[in-house]
Amino acid sequence: MNTNAVIRLMSLMSMWMWTGQGQTFQPQLTPNDFQAKITSNTVILKQPYCIFDQTCNGCEIWLVAALSSIKMSLEIKVRVRYIFFFLKSTTTFDAQVNSSAPYVLNLSPYPAAFNPSSRNFFVTKVGPLASFPCSQSSNDFYFIVGAEGNCGGTNCNGILPNGSIVSFKYLLIDVNNQTIVNMSNWSPNITLLTFQNPQTINDGLSARSGAMVVITTILSVAAALLLLLFFIMLCIVCCGRKEGKPISGVSQTVMSSIRIPRYDTHLKDQVHPYDNPAYESEVKNYSTSDTLPKSGIQTQKL
Amino acid sequence: MGAGALTCLMILVIVLNAIAAAAGLALFAVAIWVAVDGYKLYPISGVSGKDDIFAAAWIAIFTGFAFFLTCIFGIFAALKRSRALMLAYLIIMFIIFLFECASAITAATNRDYLVGNSNLVKKQMLQYYADSSTQGKQITQTWNRVMEQVECCGADSPKDWLEYNSTFKQTFGPTYLWPLNCCQRLSNFEVKDREGCLVGKSSTMFTKGCFQYIESVLSRYTWAVSWYGFSVLMLVFFTLLITMIYYMQLD
């Protein structure tokens, strides 16, 4: 088994050297700044300008879209002791292509391509070789893998499995002779975005802002303080009123005006004029006793 | 306390009450502005059931106007030098104080729930945009308007539409990755570059997220009710202290 693998390795290496072009000989992501460059089930690649420089009438470029796992599965089956395991990694797909009799385009039809026990790749057409000359290479053009959605054709451009790790490879196929003329390298692994359920977003309270804490504490303290002071004030006022009652005993019994110092009550048994004992003079006395009307005028009978 | 000092205190009480009446009226006006919701973002808080910012604004409308009326009554009571009226004034002011406290605290707390981080807004967008229920229609209209006016897409970025499943994705499938309102438009409202927008060419669509704008508007509403209410309350607190001292000096 060891020699078998070594022979495979040597053949691969020779094929690799023969097909090596010096520039990047593999599918690449578009260098443009697209938001949807990699989504959960589609990828946008550069168009294959200047990949194959053979001239070949009737040749077409096809794309292999595969799960990266089929690159590595041989590694799991045969315990790897080789240094160049990345070269070895392409043998699974290549083994299927080289060894099996059916035409590669019919090998793995799209609808069943990614079922659990399937081959985990599909092949879809990019375009005729003549459409991609080196001289017209441009980054403005792009190719969307998965553009046809969940389609039903054998070689349709269907979507990839959600969130999987995928790799791509170009095939140069002569349709008339049904042979593979050339194969590019595998692209590096591309990890698709995983599709998450929006229910998993945690929309609970994240954190309390500082402003909210300040407002709440200061207002609570202020309200409590206000209530406390209010009760203290009521206590002081009520106690003050109770203590104040017995002090002014005499003047309470006299029900008379506090503003007039002397007036005539016209009662026979009282003095004329009558000095008001409840009189309270204001602090500012604008008029002195000299300027007030004299007592003679006050006793005039009306 | 001498009569002169008492008159001084009375004038101080009157002046403070006049300022508080004006501040209360301004609170009334600001709270009306918030309740009217000129930015038309109410569905974002209403659909999630967390619309307490607007409830706080309604409370502030009533307390603001009540402050205005009660402070005018306070001026009258201070002039009359009547203890009974001053006591009534103090009690009423205290009750309004409590309600206004509630309004300010509610608005500030609720803002943290809504726009503390972008999760709630994002989840709501993914669930309700393009949904056919009443809430869905409201959210769709609101988001469409925001995306057009503010020139944004998604909550944090257009990648929100790619990373999560959504009602929009279920309805419009793999053709449209994000709503067409994310695309730049010409002055006649035609999409500038439909193909470019579908793949996400950065020059033909909006790439910034809408959460920043939504957060700034809701914060503006909250701080109008909350911080301004707080400052009115501090002024009223001070006024009530002085009034209580005045009340004690009356006989």
Which of A135-139, A190-194, A239-243, A295-299 has the least mean pLDDT?
A295-299
- Look at B119 and A201 and tell me if their CB atoms are within 8 Å: yes
Task: Answer yes or no: do A162 and A258 share one domain.
Answer: no
**Is residue A244 in some structural domain?**
no
pLDDT value of position A19: 44
Task: Answer yes or no: do A190 and A258 share one domain.
Answer: no
Q: Of A174, A194, A214, which residue sits at a domain end?
A: A194
- Look at B163 and A230 and tell me if their CB atoms are within 8 Å: no
Q: Could you tell me if B65 and B24 are in contact, meaning their C-beta atoms sit under 8 angstroms apart? A: yes
Task: Answer yes or no: do A114 and A261 share one domain.
Answer: no
B200 close to A (CB below 8 A): yes
Please tell me the distance from the alpha carbon of residue B248 to that of residue B251, in angstroms, as a whole number.
Answer: 8
Would you state the structure tokens that stand for residue B137, as one six-digit string? 């229609």
**Pick from B104, B123, B198: CB nearest A201:** B123
| Residues of B with Cβ-Cβ distance to A216 under 8 angstroms | 105, 108-109
**Is residue A223 in some structural domain?**
no
B12 close to A (CB below 8 A): no
Q: Looking at this predicted complex, what is its ipTM?
A: 0.89
User: Residue A123 to residues A19, B17, B134: CA-CA distances in angstroms?
Assistant: 20, 83, 45
Task: Answer yes or no: do A187 and A270 share one domain.
Answer: no
Q: Could you tell me if A209 and B117 are in contact, meaning their C-beta atoms sit under 8 angstroms apart? A: no
Q: What is the pLDDT of residues A40-57, one digit of tens each?
A: 888 888 888 887 777 778
**Is residue A238 in some structural domain?**
no
Quote the percentage of chain A above a pLDDT of 70: 68
**Is residue A126 in some structural domain?**
yes
pLDDT value of position A8: 63
B105 close to A (CB below 8 A): yes
B64 close to A (CB below 8 A): no
Which residues make beta-bridge pairs with A67? A166
- Look at A229 and B244 and tell me if their CB atoms are within 8 Å: yes
pLDDT value of position A88: 41
User: Residue B179 to residues B123, B136, B167: CA-CA distances in angstroms?
Assistant: 16, 14, 11
DSSP A178-223: TEEEEE-PPPPPEEPPP-B-GGGS--S-----HHHHHHHHHHHHHH
- Report how many domains make up chain A: 2
More confident residue, A90 or B50: B50
Task: Answer yes or no: do A41 and A133 share one domain.
Answer: yes
Q: Would you write out chain B's pLDDT as a tens digit for each of its 251 residues? A: 688 889 999 999 999 999 999 999 999 999 999 999 999 999 999 998 889 999 999 999 999 999 999 999 999 999 998 999 999 999 999 999 999 999 999 999 999 988 888 899 999 999 999 889 999 999 999 999 999 999 999 999 998 898 998 999 888 877 888 899 999 988 888 888 888 888 888 888 898 999 999 999 999 999 999 999 999 999 999 999 999 999 998 87
pLDDT value of position B1: 65
Q: For the residues A215-228, what does the mean pLDDT come to?
A: 95
Q: Residue A188's closest CA among A167, A209, A206?
A: A167
* Structural domain containing residue A294: 254-301
Q: Of A194, A217, A233, which residue sits at a domain end?
A: A194
Q: DSSP letter for A301, please.
A: -
pLDDT value of position A76: 40
Q: Could you tell me if A94 and A12 are in contact, meaning their C-beta atoms sit under 8 angstroms apart? A: yes
The pLDDT mean for chain A works out to 74
Checking if the pLDDT of A94 tops 90, the result is no
CA B102 to chain centre: 14
**Pick from A195, A197, A226: CB nearest B97:** A226
The Cα of A243 is separated from the nearest Cα of chain B by a number of Å equal to 13
3-state SS assignment for residue B187: coil
Q: What is the reported pTM?
A: 0.76
pLDDT-derived band of residue A90, with 50, 70 and 90 as boundaries?
very low
**Is residue A210 in some structural domain?**
no
**Is residue A66 in some structural domain?**
yes
pLDDT value of position A89: 40
Rg (CA), chain A: 52
Which of A19-23, A107-111, B43-47, B132-136 has the least mean pLDDT?
A19-23
Quote the strand ranges of chain A, DSSP E. 43-46, 59-67, 121-128, 142-145, 165-174, 179-183, 190-191, 262-263, 274-275
- Look at A215 and B108 and tell me if their CB atoms are within 8 Å: yes
Checking if the pLDDT of A73 tops 50, the result is no
User: Residue B152 to residues B6, B21, B157, B158: CA-CA distances in angstroms?
Assistant: 62, 43, 8, 8
Task: Answer yes or no: do A60 and A134 share one domain.
Answer: yes
Task: Answer yes or no: do A174 and A281 share one domain.
Answer: no
Please tell me the distance from the alpha carbon of residue A300 to that of residue B51, in angstroms, as a whole number.
Answer: 80
pLDDT value of position A40: 85
- Look at A198 and B109 and tell me if their CB atoms are within 8 Å: no
Q: Could you tell me if B56 and B225 are in contact, meaning their C-beta atoms sit under 8 angstroms apart? A: yes
Domain boundaries of chain B, sorted by first residue? 3-41+49-115+222-249, 119-155+158-207
Q: Of A159, A194, A229, which residue sits at a domain end?
A: A194
